[in-house]
Amino acid sequence: MKIDVNQLAEHLAHIPFQVEGVYRYAKNPGVPYAEYTDSFPGFVFPLKGKVQFQFNGTPYIFSPGKVVHGGARMKLAQKMFGNTNWEYILVLYRIYNSELEETSFSHQHFELSTGQSPRLIELIMRLWHVYNQPGGISMFQTEMLFRDVLNETLLCVVNRQNSCESQTLFERVSHYIHEYYDQSLTIASLAEQYNVNRNRLSYVFRRHAGMGPAEYILKHRINVAQEMLFTSDASVQQIAQTVGIADPFYFSRVFKKQHGISPTEYREKFINNPC
């Protein structure tokens, strides 16, 4: 099931909980078959491979890039995928407040999409090693590290969601630019049309295109003009206006900056050297 990561973070910030166990499982020697989950809720951190478990009939694929949560005493079923080697770490925890526990996420099963995070893997491995060390210091470090692991997990989810949203926004706006490049396009008008502020729009384009939206618009117009110089007999002034640049002198200056020669020289070079 889907989970609101902000609600989960707020929940974890307000409930008292403690690590009950950190266990590392692999295909060999494998996990003993069980019909129900443990008496404590837990987070599963896949390390490699793929295996499917069902919590109360809902299937989840344990594979790197995901974190799966299962509640206590849930009906459990397991499905193998051929001879695929798999490995994961299970962290069980206890909530020390019966009233909060009744309304907590600990009773739910859900999946968090973290993506590949070397830091998260490093933290979960450190947690497993520390848990298996004797002494009070290791117990204290276990509690601290588990919170670090949860923090990194939530940050990975949020960053991944933001990345997906920015990719979608970039695709929508860039598609619009490619279709209406000959119109009067400004950063302000695009930001207003897609209900984002200008800083956000600039960030998205620099992230996904390596340049700001104004430069992206101009570059696309010049690319279209370049093609028109090959395929039409229109004058440089007409081509400039067709791609949305009213000033032909500005068009020539920008074209030369991008291609090293003027539009007229570019056309002559192509005509004389068609190959």
- The sign one gets for the Cα dihedral 110, 113, 114, 116 is positive
Average pLDDT rounded to a whole number, residues 176-181: 94
What is the C-alpha to C-alpha distance for residues 105 and 141, in angstroms, rounded to an integer?
Answer: 24
Ordered by start, the domain boundaries in the chain are 5-161, 180-275
pLDDT for residue 100: 57
- 5-161 is classed CATH 2.60.120.280: yes
Decide if pLDDT at 83 tops 90: no
Per-residue confidence band for 105, with pLDDT thresholds at 50, 70 and 90: confident
For domain 180-275, give the CATH number.
Answer: 1.10.10.60
Least reliable range by pLDDT among 76-85, 244-253, 266-275: 266-275
Q: How far is CA 129 from CA 27, 36, 78, in A?
A: 20, 27, 27
What is the C-alpha to C-alpha distance for residues 134 and 212, in angstroms, rounded to an integer?
Answer: 55
Per-residue confidence band for 97, with pLDDT thresholds at 50, 70 and 90: confident
> Which residues have CB under 8 Å from 25's CB, separation 6+?
31, 87, 88, 89, 90
pTM, whole model, 2 decimals? 0.69
pLDDT for residue 96: 84
Rounded to the nearest integer, the mean pLDDT of the chain is 90
| Structure-block tokens of residue 204 | 């998205």
Decide if pLDDT at 90 tops 90: yes
pLDDT in tens, 20-53: 999 999 876 555 567 889 999 999 999 999 999 9
pLDDT for residue 194: 92
